[in-house]
Amino acid sequence: MGEGAAYPQTATEPAVRIAALVKRYGALVALDKVDLSIAQREAFGLVGANGAGKTTLIRCLLDLTACDQGRIEIFGRRAREPMARAPLAYLPERFMPPHYLTGREFLRTLAALGRAGHDEARIAALIAQLELEPAALERPVRTLSKGMTQKLGLAAALSLERELYVLDEPMSGLDPAARVAVKSVLRRLSREGRTLFFTSHVLADVDELCSSIAVLERARLRFRGSPRSLRERYGERSLERAFMRCLRDGERALSA
C-alpha cells in the first residue's frame, strides 16, 4: 500500500458507517436521517433516480460537503478527520482534470498528492486493461474526448492502492467495450479484498458487480440488501423492474 494510505483500525469495523445523516440546502432536504453500513470487502452499489441524493451522500462522506446532522465513519474514524480518508480513492461524477496537463503529468501529480509513488508497471497495466491508448497520455487533457478523459480518471483513481474505492458514476461516457474493461478491473479489485462503493444508473452493471445495494429515493433509503433480495421482494427477474417498483412504493409512502 502507498505511503499515504492507512490500514483500517480493525478488520471488523465497517468500511463506511453512516448514522442519522441529514443534509439540507435551504428548504430542500437532500438527505433525511439516512442510516447505512458497508462492510469491508463489500462490493456496494448506491442507486436512485436523478436528484435522489446519491452525490450529496458521497460528498458528505468525503467531507466535501458539511452535513447538518448525523455521524459518518470510515474504517472506524470520524469522516471529518483528514486521516479517515487516507485509505480511499475517489472518482467524482464530473471528472475534470487540469486542462493544461498531459495525461501522464496528471497521473504523476495525483500519485505525488496521494503519496503513493508513481508505479509505472501498475499504471501501464491499468492503461492496457482500460484500453486507453498510451499516446493519449502525452496529449493535453483538454484535447481528450469525454470517454478518454473518463478512462484517465479511472486509471488515476484505480492506480492508487487503497482499501476503499468511491466511484460516482464510473461508467459515464464510456462505450460498451470500455464498460466491459472497467468491470473487469473492478472485479479484480473485489477479488483482492478491496471495498467498492459506486453509484450507477446502469442497473445491469450493479446487478453484475454488487453483492449489496441500497435504493435512495427523495432523500431516504427505501431498500438495503442484495440485488437478488430486491428482485425477490417484487417477484421480478429484472433488477431494473424491481427498482422501479421500489421507487413507486416510496412515492406512495410519501403521499400517504
Number of domains in the chain: 1
Residue 192 CB neighbour total at 10 angstroms: 9
Compute the distance between CA of residue 82 and CA of residue 91 in angstroms, rounded to an integer: 18
Residue 205 lies in a domain: yes
Among 176, 232, 217, which Cα is nearest to 47's? 217
Q: Residue 256: what pLDDT?
A: 45
Domain that residue 45 falls in: 16-255
Q: Which residues contact 45 (CB under 8 A, 6 or more apart)?
A: 198, 199, 200, 206, 209, 210, 212, 213, 214, 227
Residue 244 lies in a domain: yes
Residue 3 lies in a domain: no
Q: What is the mean pLDDT of residues 7-19?
A: 82
Q: Check which CATH number belongs to the domain holding 170 and give it.
A: 3.40.50.300
Residue 110 lies in a domain: yes
Burial of 235-250, coded b for 16+ CB within 10 Å and e otherwise, reads: ebeebeebbeebbebb
pTM, two decimals, is 0.91
Q: What is the pLDDT of residues 111-144, one digit of tens each?
A: 888 776 667 788 888 888 888 888 889 999 999 9
Q: What is the pLDDT of residues 238-249, one digit of tens each?
A: 999 999 999 988
Compute the distance between CA of residue 38 and CA of residue 18 in angstroms, rounded to an integer: 9
Residue 7 lies in a domain: no
Q: What is the mean pLDDT of residues 40-68?
A: 95
Residue 178 lies in a domain: yes
C-alpha cell at 113: 498528492
Residue 11 lies in a domain: no
- CA distance from start to end of the chain: 51
The total number of residues written for the chain in this structure: 256
Residue 4 lies in a domain: no
203, 240 in Cβ contact below 8 A? yes
Q: Give the phi and the psi of residue 242 in degrees, each rounded to 5.
A: -65, -40
Considering the chain, what is the average pLDDT of its residues?
90
Compute the distance between CA of residue 245 and CA of residue 40 in angstroms, rounded to an integer: 29
C-alpha cell at 115: 503519496
Compute the distance between CA of residue 62 and CA of residue 245 in angstroms, rounded to an integer: 31
39, 51 in Cβ contact below 8 A? no
